[in-house]
Amino acid sequence: MKTAKLCKLISKSEPIPGIFDFTIESPEIAAEARCGQFLHIACGGGTFLRRPISICDAHDSCVRFIFEVKGEGTKALAEHSVGDFIDVMGPLGHGFEVKPEHKNAVIIGGGIGVFPLFLLAKQVKSDVFLGFRSADRVVMEDEFASIAKSVTVGTDDGSYGYKGYIASAMDEYLDKNPYDVIFACGPKPMFKAVKAIAEKRGIECQLSLEQRMGCGIGACLVCTCESTKDGMDKQLRVCKNGPVFDSREVTLND
């Protein structure tokens, strides 16, 4: 079982208001981390439960994660200063599976869902689609551009890049280009659209789901989602069986 470690915060920035980019020092987590896995973080500020945050990047002894301030936990986490120690458990969960047959990979992320995709994009040369609400919420475009085959950025309000939902930009791209897998992370409406596109085209699709979590290690069942794998209804634990699932395995209820 994974134990919690106190890790030193070695860099901190706020690339856009309310989004914090942290790097902690942990040779053990950096050595084990796989794309799509997450950290379970004791945020402080009186919060009792840990909060799950994806690993954005890992190399040498550094582990990077980027998060949006949503509520009490992430607000307290954001208040840490460089040099502080953060209580981190991880890496946890089952991440993305890159297979030798994935020659033409497409990566699609929406909002805070773009962060878990960066380590993946470093490992598999891909065409990347990043969707945001508006121009002032665009992050990591240049970093993805430095490692990907191509990057398309879209905004829901049309203020930057492709005008409209990023899943539509990806669908238009798939009309004209070869593909063999889609990797996705983002809000539920984007997932639904991506799952439908993958099923229509008969293409493998791996989705990284977000669910509220308790223990983070498969014991409390707070994080279950429904699955119809092999025609059988069953409950999957996002923290342990996921967070990354084959899109055909999961039922995306509202």
User: Which residues contact ligand FES by CB under 6 A?
Assistant: 213-216, 218-223, 237, 239
Answer with the entry of ligand FES, ligand FAD, none that 143 interacts with (C-beta below 5 to 8 A by kind).
none
Per CB under 6 A, which region of 6-14, 82-90, 97-105, 209-217 contacts ligand FAD?
Answer: 209-217
DSSP letter for 20, please: E
Sign, Cα dihedral of 88, 93, 95, 97: positive
Residue 202's nearest CA partner among 227, 183, 181 is 181
Query: Could you say which residues in the range 100-159 bind ligand FAD, by CB under 6 A?
Result: 112, 115-116
Residue 186's nearest CA partner among 133, 136, 122 is 133
Token pair, residue 26, equals: 């942990």
Using CB under 6 A, count the residues that bind ligand FAD. Answer: 23
Residue 130's nearest CA partner among 140, 180, 122 is 140
Answer with the entry of ligand FES, ligand FAD, none that 73 interacts with (C-beta below 5 to 8 A by kind).
ligand FAD
Q: Is 72 in the site for ligand FAD (CB under 6 A)?
A: yes
Q: Is 74 in the site for ligand FAD (CB under 6 A)?
A: yes
Token pair, residue 11, equals: 């860099």
Q: Is 73 in the site for ligand FAD (CB under 6 A)?
A: yes
Per CB under 6 A, which region of 27-35, 48-56, 155-163, 173-181 contacts ligand FAD?
Answer: 48-56
* Distance (Å) of CA 4 to CA 1, 17, 38, 151, 158: 10, 29, 13, 36, 43
Which residue, chain included where needed, has tokens 């773009």? 114
Site of interaction with ligand FAD (CB under 6 A): 38, 47, 51-54, 65-68, 70-74, 112, 115-116, 210-213, 243
